[in-house]
Amino acid sequence: MEIAEIAKMIKNLPDFTGKPAVALETTIISHGMPYPQNVKTALAVEQTIRDQGAIPVTIGILDGEIKIGMTPDEIEEFGRRHAEIMKVSRRDLAYCVSQGRSGATTVAATMILASLAHIRVFATGGLGGVHRGAQQTFDISADLEEFSRSPIAVVCSGPKAILDIPLTLEYLETKGVPVIGYQTPNLPLFYTRDSKYHLEAETDTPEAAAKLIETTSLLNLHQGMIFANPIPAEYSLDGAKMEKVIEEAVNEADDKGIKGKDLTPFLLAKIVELTGGKSLEANIALIKNNAKVAAQISKALNK
């Protein structure tokens, strides 16, 4: 693709100003779940957002072309081709586009592209963060850094439970990123509704969340924020049991020397195996729930 073509493509990205749009990432499709559950979940999440009267906008890169709003056929292609699709964060965006590659956007990359299209709310499952053992490996997700750069409100079920939660919270505090409990005073831990980690801020309605987003914009803070939304009670897994499962998966990854971009997909797949599929059911349920809340917040924000 020539430079002029790339410039034109970026200039002509869709503009969702004043529309109740909700951005969706694509690493969940390509790296977060097996086929065909990944495609079924992606389409179901989009429908959840439509049912709330908002616009789902799945974001990815196909053969070098930025897709802000993928079609069902493109989502199907992502699901089938998952093994050959790049996992794209901030550092990979320019390479993926300029070289005509296909890439699935992480939280960080989705935030960047959503911001270009003037989308202000983004729904995902769980955040990347500071990995266990980061004191030695320095393995810290670029997702955290992006919150201090891109003004996107992200609805999630807290950091992924495979992470070092206290260090992740410390990193976010250092970067000045608000972590707000949505109808909860404590940080949800992805598969589990509650935790011992108390949050300083809490909000309980889409309107209150929208007011917070708009105030952040008026103050010209130019940063993102996190709305931590607990998994539905009927899908919440036992925290102590999940911690043992996660420790087993982390130890196996260490023994096999798995790290970097390969670590999170390996751990999530191993946890699915060790829980007999219960963690996958929980993952799907929490993503749909986050999409519902994100749609409600986006509608309130755009009234």
Which residues lie across from 104 on neighbouring strands? 60, 87
DSSP assignment letter at 231: P
Choose, from 160, 270, 292, 299, the residue flagged as catalytic. 160
Q: How many Cβ atoms from other residues are within 10 Å of residue 133's Cβ?
A: 13
> Is 278 in the active site?
no
CA 168/CA 203 separation, integer angstroms: 21
Burial of 71 (0-12, 13-18, 19+ CB in 10 A): exposed
CA-nearest of 116, 89, 84 to 102 is: 84
- Round to whole Å and give the CA distance between 12 and 257: 43
Residues contacting residue 295 through CB under 8 Å, at least 6 positions apart: 20, 22, 48, 49, 51, 52, 53, 54, 123
Which residue type does 157 have?
Answer: S
* Per-residue DSSP letter, 30: I
Give catalytic status of residue 25 as yes or no. Answer: yes
Sign of CA dihedral 270, 104, 136, 189: negative
Q: Are 273 and 185 in contact (CB under 8 A)?
A: no
Catalytic residues: 25, 160
